[in-house]
Amino acid sequence: MISSIIFIIILAAGIYVFAKKVGFVRRNILLGKDIDRSDRKDERWKTMARVAMGQSKMSARPVAGLLHLFVYVGFILINIEVLEIILDGIFGTHRLFHSILGDFYFMIINFFEVLAVLVIVGVTVFWIRRMIVKIPRFWSKEMKGWAKNDALYILYIEFVLMSALLIMNAADQVLMATPIDQLEAAGLSKYALGLDGKFAVSQFLTGLMPESLDALHYVERGAWWFHIIGILLFLNYLPYSKHFHILLAFPNTFYAKLEPKTELNNLESVTKEVEMMFDPSADPYAAPPAGAEDAVPERFGAKDVQDLTWKQLMDSYTCTECGRCTSVCPANLTGKLLSPRKIMMDTRDRLEEVGQNIDKNGANYDDGKSLLNDYIQPEELWACTTCNACTEACPVLIDPASIIIDLRRYLVMEESQGPSELNAVYTNIENNGAPWQFAQADRLNWKDE
């Protein structure tokens, strides 16, 4: 009873802290401007099933894709066992599902153990790729400090959790194979389930288990507590980590842009200005509608995270920092400052900062900083060729190009800042009706040559 009470308290605390942080992230995402992504629901469900669940985009790099599939499928399916652990912890039972599934239960556990080994193999190879082979995209300049360590922490956590699962099963199967009279004499009768066969993997660890039933019990219980508390700690670590994509990949792919990647949206604020210009009855000096006198005019483009859409902000939280976008970016490959991965990381960091400012100082607090200039420099933005290679490469359909474009729109339309080459083109279009520096009267002179 005491053990169950302690478990329930730990479980409730873990879920509460996780829900609170998720609420913080949700509030931050909703700071973005509204955008309608409720159309073509059938196509959206198919996209989510194919990309988020089916891992279809990972196949572009087969080795990494296969290893990621091991880790993804293994970790998701093995956590089905967490449901049984939670119920055992609440009710004080032992392997509750065995009473329902019978011998089939051990077949499932064997499958989970094979998956656990595949997860261990996967994270080990991923660690080797990062720390020994040192694949360049994992060692870019933005992948320092927390960004580098976060990826390693997750690999260590997954390795330890899977190892704890196997150790728990190894001790457990020795206990379950022990004669019932010995278990009852030691006060361990709940382990008397009977063992038909052996577990697929953990049977090879049974030789390392102590002979004493009391010691075996401590090993099994210690691994059991370590595994479930580790799961809860991992759950609460996710919202602080790039690995939050484990959860956000599903809504992010569902709400992904379905139009062609290179299709640009029209800014509503610009559309209103143009419509007013073409409306003969419009009075630019008319008094604003009631209640709108103090309204802040909507920006052209984006300067800070609140000027982006909620989908773009969700993209930033979903970013896996895998670097596939940056590795195919032609600007980055030619040595320019732009890194699409850094764009997403900077957006998330700034959004976290804005959210913390709101919590500490209120919704109207202005810290004098912005995403543009304080996090992302104009030089990065103008290096982008808008080829959308980054968007095409992303395994969870993140769209860095849309953020780049909106930030550039602000620079041009609000700050009149742009490369000299573009400014010359804009001036020619304004004065000559064409990008070239020829008077309109001379535009057809070429036919006389």
pLDDT tens string 18-61: 999 999 999 999 999 999 999 999 999 999 999 998 889 988 88
CATH classification at residue 367: 1.10.1060
Eight-state DSSP code of residue 445: G
Q: Does the residue 89 lie in any domain?
A: yes
**Secondary element (H or E) of residue 18:** helix 2-29
345-361: average pLDDT: 95
Q: Could you tell me if 371 and 408 are in contact, meaning their C-beta atoms sit under 8 angstroms apart?
A: no
Residue 319 pairs in a beta bridge with none
Residue 326: closest CA among 343, 349, 313, 314 = 343
pLDDT confidence band for 197 (50 / 70 / 90) = low
Closest CA to 380 of 408, 347, 420, 421: 408
End-to-end CA distance of the chain: 98
One-letter amino acid identity for 246?
Answer: I
Q: What percent of the chain has pLDDT over 70?
A: 95
In this structure, the answer to whether residues 156 and 200 fall within a common structural domain is yes
Distance CA(23)–CA(21), nearest Å, equals: 5
Q: Is 23 among the domain residues?
A: yes
Residue 98 lies in a domain: yes
Residue 153 forms part of a structural domain = yes
d(CA 90, CA 111): 25
* Residue 268: per-residue pLDDT: 80
Neighbours of 243 (CB within 10 A): 20
How is residue 364 annotated by DSSP? T
Q: Quick one: 241 and 272 in the same domain?
A: no
Residue recorded with tokens 């873990």: 14
Q: Are residues 94 and 177 in the same domain?
A: yes
Q: Which two tokens stand for residue 238?
A: 């996710």
Task: Please choose, from the candidates 296, 195, 298, 312, the residue with its C-alpha nearest in 3D space to the C-alpha of residue 255.
Answer: 312
pLDDT of residue 101: 83
* Domain assignment of residue 255, yes or no: no
Number of domains in the chain: 2
- What pLDDT is stored for residue 73 in this prediction? 83
Q: 224 lies in which domain range?
A: 2-30+61-246
